[in-house]
Amino acid sequence: MRPLEVIILAAGQGTRMRSALPKVLHPLAGKPLLSHVIDAAGDLSPRTIHVVVGHGAERVRDAFDGQVNFVVQQEQRGTGHAVQTALPAVGEDANVLVLFGDVPLINPETLAACVLALDEAAVTIVTAVFDDPAQLGRITRNSQGHITGIVEYKDASDEERAIQEINSGILAASAQDLSRLLSQINDDNAQGELYLTDVVGLAVAGSERVDGLKAAGPAEVLGVNDRSQLAEAERLLQRRLAGELMAAGTSLADPARIDIRGTLTVGKDCFIDVNAVFEGDVQLGDNVSIGPGCVIKDSTIGSGTTLAPYTLLEEAQVAESCTLGPFARLRPGTNLSDRVRVGNFVETKKTSMGVGSKANHLAYLGDATIGSDCNVGAGTITCNYDGINKHPTHIGDGVFVGTNSTLVAPISIGNGAFVAAGSTVTTTIKNDSLAVGRARQRNIDGWTRPDARPAVDSKTKK
């Protein structure tokens, strides 16, 4: 079997995107469009992936540096010219698969079948069947099912316009055949460009066999040319990912309202409510429940943990049977042990909490190490930043921190210690000690509110 090399066409400007960002770098499910195509091609284990770039070449190159071989198309003269530009970098012994950087939903299985069909044909293309092909080019076949041509809509008869099979543009051929056929095409057309699709007609005219492999559905060959099509591709891909989750045993409150912008790995019997967003690499254990509106990025959540609505996690590690939220925020460096509770309007950053500890509401815990079975009261703040440096707070096991306490770091609180409500703590607290850091209370009899006091004439005031 011949080795495979892939050419991805990504030189277009994408003017309909109305953007300074090259079209193939626009994000789809958290990754650039081109990344999805490279991933699909990579599943075929090609010898080399060549990406033809033009508009915004440096930005595209920077985004994928070291992953692929870049070929610069200095002058954009059509898809055929783009492939001609890349062919000198392709080994003569290879089969070549030509893909498009703005067709991100193509399945690797479809591409593999397209390449495999070269055992019987000189050229193979990926086609798709549309309920309404509109003005797309129609595929014509002979009685053996081999392709006889691609008929443009404006040139098609009524019978040909009734055909629902269209050309995706994705094509495979040996490097030698592709080079030979491309050398015969010309730019005698309205656009004055060299079209890759002309290869099909030339092969048929030379009595060479052309086969077409039908994609599973129209979504696979959807091209993204404007922001409306980008949004359409996003929902199609999210629906595909939702289907994979449900097939793996996850319950979704509404498959149309979930966004996976990276990799989501789930255990058994998880539940995900509406409008949850997963970014980067997220892992869920068994029986995890995600409430509505949660946003989770690059985090691991242990089995049996529940996230109440609108809880935010970023680069956090959460163990088993924890309860988080609602409206909690776990920032990078948060590490929670089993059965920890982090409640509403609690924020953590570079903080670890031991088994069974809890901060149920209205607290900020930064650069803190908290032992097991601790209670952090509402309004507690670890004052970790002095304006220049960050400082740690160390809290032992079984510590009770009363409501509205201010812990001025660096500070240590020993095992079993108790911090009285309303305290400002600035020095170490020993094991099993009570710390009271309040101003002395004074009660003033006969005090009146400022707005109830008689006015004072400034001229007579002494």
Catalytic residue numbers, as ranges: 361
In the numeric block, which tokens belong to residue 340? 């920890």
CA distances 262 to 154, 201, 353, Å, are: 42, 41, 28
Q: Which of 75, 92, 58, 67 has the alpha carbon at shortest distance from 8?
A: 67
* Widest CA span in the chain: 114
In the numeric block, which tokens belong to residue 47? 């010898």
Size of the chain, expressed as the number of residues it contains: 462
- Report the helix count and the strand count for the chain, using DSSP H and E: 8, 37
Helix, strand or coil, per DSSP, at residue 385: strand
Determine phi and psi for 89, rounding to 5 degrees.
-85, -5
DSSP state letter for 424: E
**Distance from C-alpha of 409 to C-alpha of 190, rounded to nearest angstrom:** 73
In the numeric block, which tokens belong to residue 105? 């939903």
Number of alpha carbons in the 13 Å side-chain half-sphere of residue 158: 0
DSSP state letter for 383: E
What DSSP element (H or E) covers 212? strand 210-214
In the numeric block, which tokens belong to residue 202? 């030339």
Judge if the upstream peptide bond of residue 450 is cis by omega within 30 degrees of 0.
Answer: no
Q: Could you tell me what percentage of the chain is helix, strand and coil, using 3-state DSSP and rounding each to the nearest 5? A: 20, 30, 45
Answer for the pair 146, 169: CB distance below 8 angstroms, yes or no. no
Q: Which of 259, 305, 304, 301 has the alpha carbon at shortest distance from 283?
A: 301
* β-sheet bridge partners, residue 364: 347, 381
**Cα–chain-centroid distance for residue 402?**
41
Helix runs in 120-213, H state only: 158-161, 175-182, 198-205
* β-sheet bridge partners, residue 202: none
**Distance from C-alpha of 358 to C-alpha of 272, rounded to nearest angstrom:** 24
